[in-house]
Amino acid sequence: MKGGYLLLFAGILASLWALAGPVVYKWVDKNGEVHYSGRPHPGAVRVELGAASVVNFKIPPKYKTIRSAAQPKALPHYRIRILAPVNGTTLRPADYRVRVNVSINPALRPGTRLNYALDGKAVRVGAMATTLTLTRVYRGTHVLTVVARGPKGEALGRAQSTFYIQRHSILFRRRHRPGPPPANG
- Asked if residue 134 is part of any domain, the answer here is yes
Same domain, 40 and 85: no
Same domain, 32 and 89: no
- Asked if residue 98 is part of any domain, the answer here is yes
Predicted local distance difference test score (pLDDT) of residue 74: 59
Nearest CA among 162, 164, 160, 163 for reference residue 82:
160
Task: Give the Cα separation of 41 and 107 in Å (integer).
Answer: 74
The total of structural domains in the chain comes to 2
Predicted local distance difference test score (pLDDT) of residue 169: 65
Global pTM reads 0.52
Phi, psi at residue 18, to the nearest 5°? Answer: -65, -35
Task: Give the Cα separation of 67 and 87 in Å (integer).
Answer: 43
Nearest CA among 96, 137, 99, 102 for reference residue 118:
137
Per the structure, the complete domain to which residue 45 belongs is given by 20-49
The CA radius of gyration of the chain, in Å to the nearest whole number, is 39
- Asked if residue 173 is part of any domain, the answer here is no
Per-residue model confidence as pLDDT tens digits over 19-50? 555 677 888 888 888 887 778 888 888 877 66
Residues of 135-156 as b/e, b for ≥16 C-beta within 10 angstroms? eebeeeebebbbbbbbeeeeeb
Same domain, 84 and 45: no
**Cβ-Cβ contacts under 8 Å for 47 (sequence gap 6 or more):** 24, 25, 26, 36
- Asked if residue 177 is part of any domain, the answer here is no
Pairwise pLDDT comparison (4 vs 185), residue with the higher score: 4
Predicted local distance difference test score (pLDDT) of residue 92: 85
- Asked if residue 56 is part of any domain, the answer here is no
Per-residue model confidence as pLDDT tens digits over 109-157? 888 899 999 999 999 888 888 898 999 888 899 999 999 998 888 889 9
Specify the CATH number for the domain of residue 136.
2.60.40.10
Same domain, 44 and 92: no
How far does the chain reach from its first CA to its final CA, in angstroms?
134
Phi, psi at residue 14, to the nearest 5°? Answer: -65, -40
Same domain, 88 and 37: no
